[in-house]
């Protein structure tokens, strides 16, 4: 007995989809994009080249200026160290003064140092407001010069009889330096607070010296100031 086969379904021819078609190489697509946007691409490349060239030129220019400032500071700092403050500020026929260095090269390391030296020279010549300006402009680090700059600002305020502000700045100077070095600035802060009539602030810093720096030279004088404060409070 023969078996009948089930009728076969007619097959349909599938059209190739977009995914089945060969892909265009990216290089070809890039060339097509370039041809369609030639002016934009060329403009962008020119701008990039100019930017890189400008950055290299600016970096070289800054390096040259930094070297100039370093050389000029080395020449004038000896005048400052000899105590010739007015000449150090203005310069000589052969050397650039600290003020010009600070104003024109302040972005360099040596120009920033010139701000500090200029501030101190102005203070030494009793030009207190100008000294304060350069002390403020000096970019301070957590080091001896940074602490000295805060102390210089404090001294300016002391000379202007702004004692409480002076005390705050001496206290800030103390916070920059570690160990017993800060005891000196804390004592100066305490004395400034006493002159300002800010007894509690003075007591706080004197107690800090007593507790944190008992072996410092300043600690020997703390008892006297605390006794004075105690007498004033009675």
Token pair 């002390």 is at which residue? 135
- In a domain? residue 161: yes
3-state helix, strand, coil in the chain (%, to 5): 75, 0, 25
pLDDT of 177: 84
**Domain of 152: which CATH number?**
1.25.40.10
- In a domain? residue 52: no
What does the pLDDT look like over 126-147, one tens digit per residue? Answer: 999 999 999 999 999 999 999 9
- In a domain? residue 230: yes
Q: How many residues does the chain have?
A: 234
Q: Give the dihedral of Cα atoms 160, 164, 167, 173; nearest 10 deg.
A: -80
Q: What is the count of structural domains for the chain?
A: 1
- In a domain? residue 179: yes
- In a domain? residue 191: yes
Domain enclosing residue 178, as ranges: 140-234
- Cβ-contact 86, 94 below 8 angstroms: no
- In a domain? residue 76: no
The model carries a pTM of: 0.74
Looking at 4-8, 127-131, 135-139, 169-173, which range is the least confident one? 4-8
- In a domain? residue 231: yes
What does the pLDDT look like over 28-57, one tens digit per residue? Answer: 776 677 677 777 767 776 676 666 666 655
**Would you call 102 exposed, middle or buried from its count of C-beta atoms within 10 A (0-12, 13-18, 19+)?**
buried
Residue 8 has pLDDT above 60, yes or no: no
- In a domain? residue 212: yes
> Where residue 60 falls among pLDDT bands split at 50, 70, 90?
very low
């Amino acid at each position: 007995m023969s078996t009948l086969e089930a009728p076969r379904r007619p097959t349909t021819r599938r059209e190739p989809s977009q995914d089945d078609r060969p892909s265009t190489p990216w290089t070809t697509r890039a060339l097509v994009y370039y041809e369609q946007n030639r002016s934009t691409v060329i403009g962008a490349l020119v701008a990039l080249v100019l930017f890189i060239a400008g950055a290299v030129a600016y970096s070289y220019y800054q390096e040259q200026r930094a070297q100039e400032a370093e050389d000029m500071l080395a020449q004038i700092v000896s005048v400052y160290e000899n105590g010739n403050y007015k000449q150090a500020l203005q310069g000589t026929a052969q050397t650039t003064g600290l003020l010009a260095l600070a104003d024109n090269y302040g972005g360099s390391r040596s120009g920033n140092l010139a701000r500090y030296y200029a501030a101190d020279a102005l203070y030494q010549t009793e030009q207190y407001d100008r000294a304060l300006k350069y002390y403020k402009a000096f970019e301070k680090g957590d080091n001896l010069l940074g602490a000295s700059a805060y102390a210089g600002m404090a001294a300016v305020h002391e000379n202007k009889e702004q004692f409480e502000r002076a005390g705050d700045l001496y206290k800030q100077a103390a916070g920059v330096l570690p160990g017993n070095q800060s005891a000196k600035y804390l004592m100066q802060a305490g004395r400034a607070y006493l002159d300002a009539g800010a007894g509690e602030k003075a007591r706080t810093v004197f107690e800090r010296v007593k507790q944190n720096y008992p072996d410092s030279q300043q600690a020997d004088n703390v008892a006297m100031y605390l006794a004075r404060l105690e007498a004033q409070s009675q």
